[in-house]
Each structure stands twice: as C-alpha cells, then as structure tokens.
Amino acid sequence: MFLFKEKKQASQCQNENCVFCKIVKKRCGRIIYEDNDVLAFYNIHPQAPVHFLVIPKKHIDMVQNVTTKDSKLLGKLMYVGTMIAKNIPELKNGYRLLMNNGENARQEVYHIHLQVVGGTKLIYPKHIKNQPKRSSTTSSLSE
Ligand SMILES: [Zn+2]
C-alpha cells in the first residue's frame, strides 16, 4: 500500500479521551495518508472489503458543530478520501463516502470522520425504505 507523508506539524490533539486524537498523536494503526491537516487509516472493524477513515487532526466532535473556519477542512476530507480511493484497485467500480452525525446515525467516535467503504457491490441500509427507482434518466448507488 502507498503512503503519502508531508512535513508534520506538532500534534493538534486536543482531547486526550478521544480514540482518534490518540491515533493522531501516536500514529498507530494502519495509516494510509497523512499531512498537516488530516490522517487516513484503515478501520480496525471493516464493514466492507475496503473500509478506511479520513479524519481531521483537529478534534471536532460532530459535523453539526463545524464552523465556517472548518469548511475547507471538510472539503479536504472528501478530497483526500477520493484521492486515496483512486489508488485502490478494489474501488475502481465505485465506493461510498459517508459521515455519521449523532446518536441516531450511530456515530460511534465523537471525532468527525469520513468513512470510505467499497470493494463490493454495496446495498442501501435496511432503514432506507424508499430506495430510488432505477430509470433510464437516473442512476442508483444501490447496485
Ligand atoms: Zn478527537
């Protein structure tokens, strides 16, 4: 697997009780990518053949709590996730990018993270009742 590294800054870890801040600080886990703002690593409990996370080094507990200052950082999470995905052959036919916000979305770690999942044909979660109908003019992610 490839590994990008840029010059590191002093740790921006702000919450010593946060598991993702610990990963940022100790750089443990299967790290895929790192720069001054973000860190990407494989999920230790993968939900698909490929499942990695992209997190900001800055501790932000929930997406709903981002500020205007964080908007570039949110975009960077998507950009980095996509850039990594382009280099993983198992994702060439598609993948899902998702962020959970809060208890009802089953957010497990309260440090925002973009999940990139793929490597198989993904289905919609069962709770999504009205899956889009396939037609000649629309495409569906449910295949
Ligand atoms: Zn954190």
- Cite the active site residues: 113
Tell me whether strands 95-98 and 114-118 are parallel, antiparallel or unpaired.
antiparallel
Q: Which pLDDT score, from 0 to 100, does residue 15 have?
A: 74
Per-residue pLDDT for 129 more than 80? no
Q: What is the mean pLDDT of the chain?
A: 85
Give pLDDT tens digits for 37-95.
999 999 999 999 999 999 999 999 999 999 999 999 999 999 999 999 999 999 999 99
CA of 67 to the centre of ligand 1 (A): 16
For residues 79 and 61, give the distance between their C-alpha atoms in angstroms, rounded to a whole number.
20
pLDDT tier, 29 (very low <50, low <70, confident <90, very high otherwise): confident
pLDDT band at 134 (very low <50, low <70, confident <90, very high): low
Picking from 1-10, 21-30, 85-94, 115-124, which range would have the lowest pLDDT averaged per residue?
Answer: 1-10
Can you give the pLDDT at residue 122?
92
Can you give the pLDDT at residue 4? 52
* Buried residues in 36-74 as b, exposed as e (16+ CB within 10 A): ebbbbbebeeeebebbbbbbbbbbbbebeeeeeebeebb
CA of 20 to the centre of ligand 1 (A): 5
- What is the mean predicted confidence (pLDDT) over 6-33? 76
- What residues sit around ligand 1, an ion, with C-beta below 5 angstroms? 15, 18, 20-21, 59, 111
Give the span between the Cα atoms of 124 and 131, in whole angstroms. Answer: 8
Out of 3-12, 15-24, 109-118, 128-137, pick the least confident.
Answer: 3-12
Query: Which domains, from first to last, does the chain contain?
Result: 4-118 (3.30.428.10)
Ligand 1 centroid from CA 28, angstroms: 14
Dist CA 37 CA 76 (whole Å): 8
> How much distance in Å is there from the Cα of 55 to the middle of ligand 1?
9
